[in-house]
Amino acid sequence: MLHSTSIMAELASSFATSAEDEVCQGVSTSSTELPPPIPSTTDRVPTPYVKGTELTVYRHVPPEPTPDRYHEFTADDLDEQDEMTFAERSLLHPPLPGTTLESEELSIVIIEEIAVSDSHGAQVLGVEGDLVAKLYDPRYYPKPTYDNDVGIDQFRCADFHYTHEAAAYEKMSGPFGGTIVPQYHGSYTCELPYPGNTTRSIRLILMERVRGICMSDIDPTRPQLPQHQRANVIAKIVDIDSSLKAFGVYQGDLHPRNIMLCGDDLGSESLRVVFIDFGQAHIVEKGRWLDNGRPISPVLTWHVRAPTHLRFQELGWIDWDWQEWLEKRWLGSDTYAPITEDAKRFWLGFRLKMGEEEYASSYLPSPPPSA
């Protein structure tokens, strides 16, 4: 996750099975979200990811994204952990190969430790050139044991995140880089020294340093953000999600911690909203979220019966009648495909006449904000 300074810093300081599942066939609904840090018993050496360190990296072409369940741990992984040190295991489990272009060499200098800690997963660093380096170092991924609920293997999860995120950014960089996602600066590999006169290969990506505030750093209830500001942010999130899906990228972990807000006024049309962290992303066929060349309407894909909006509601961003607001804002929009009876049946799994469905609204006391 990218956490950066912001002109809105005062905000931070005060503060069902659906058709989409069917469209995402082959897109796992199980989360690879990493749990809170767990005390580690693996052998450790001082972290190389400190301010002032210079790393020599080489351009790297990743292999294809790994399968959905590739990263899940097995009993063999646990047995291996009990019998071997991390250094020994790292020699057995190097990153997936891909292609290293040694002629394309680059030196990067760390200027800030943005998210660097044990059991955090990928390490996120600010580097010279106003860039962010994200390193998929398995040494910093949480370790499964018989006493915790970590369901991943450190080495395979690092491969999973790297191959999926690099593929997503590579695909998005042309039409969306520097706007709704960070500008992508490529995938790389580096060699880090390790005990026993050995080195470890670590994969990484470089991207734009997004200057803004992470949405999860804002508590919209303390103080209460005006509804029109919250509605503007949520509407932009819905449009970005719809655009990426129509283009063939499923973000996979849509949560405030993976969204940056850049601008003075949350209610402004010029507010830049940026999706970050595509470690769980999947590349899907463009046509899955298109109908006659236009994206499927959010009235269907973000329908009240789908769970997508609930985490934003639980965190205080949404306090209005959700479905009524969706229809007021997007029903009849020329940006999206018309809502046909076939589309309703496919996306909602039931026949629906707009305006006649009784929506659950006991938890939505306020009327919908203006579109």
Among 176, 208, 240, which residue terminates a domain? 208
Distance (Å, whole) CA 225 – CA 142: 36
246: Cβ contacts below 8 Å, ≥ 6 apart: 286, 289, 290, 294, 295, 296
**Where in the sequence is the domain holding 253, given as residue range(s)?**
213-348
Q: Quick one: 98 and 194 in the same domain?
A: yes
* Residue 186 located in a structural domain: yes
Q: Quick one: 62 and 193 in the same domain?
A: yes
Given this model, what pLDDT does residue 179 score? 98
Among 178, 208, 238, which residue terminates a domain? 208
CATH code (residue 327): 1.10.510
Given this model, what pLDDT does residue 44 score? 58
Distance (Å, whole) CA 251 – CA 246: 12
Q: Quick one: 313 and 274 in the same domain?
A: yes
Q: Quick one: 143 and 285 in the same domain?
A: no
Given this model, what pLDDT does residue 275 score? 98
Given the structure tokens 């039931």, which residue do they identify? 350
Q: What is the pTM of this model?
A: 0.83
Given this model, what pLDDT does residue 231 score? 98
* Local confidence pLDDT in tens for the 371 residues of the chain: 333 333 333 333 333 344 444 444 434 333 444 444 333 444 556 789 999 999 999 999 999 999 988 888 888 888 898 899 888 899 899 999 999 999 999 999 999 999 998 888 999 999 999 999 999 999 999 887 777 767 889 999 999 999 999 999 999 999 999 999 999 999 999 999 877 778 899 999 999 999 999 999 999 999 899 999 999 999 999 999 999 999 999 999 999 999 999 999 999 999 999 999 999 999 998 778 999 899 999 999 999 888 889 999 999 999 999 999 999 999 999 999 999 988 888 888 743 443 333 333 322 334 445 54
Q: Quick one: 160 and 256 in the same domain?
A: no
Q: Quick one: 202 and 306 in the same domain?
A: no
Given this model, what pLDDT does residue 349 score? 73
Among 208, 242, 258, which residue terminates a domain? 208
Given this model, what pLDDT does residue 7 score? 30
First to last CA, the chain: 30
CB burial of residue 27 (10 Å; 0-12, 13-18, 19+): middle
Please give the C-alpha separations between residue 162 and each of 26, 92, 180, in angstroms, as whole numbers.
18, 19, 20
Number of separate domains in the chain = 2
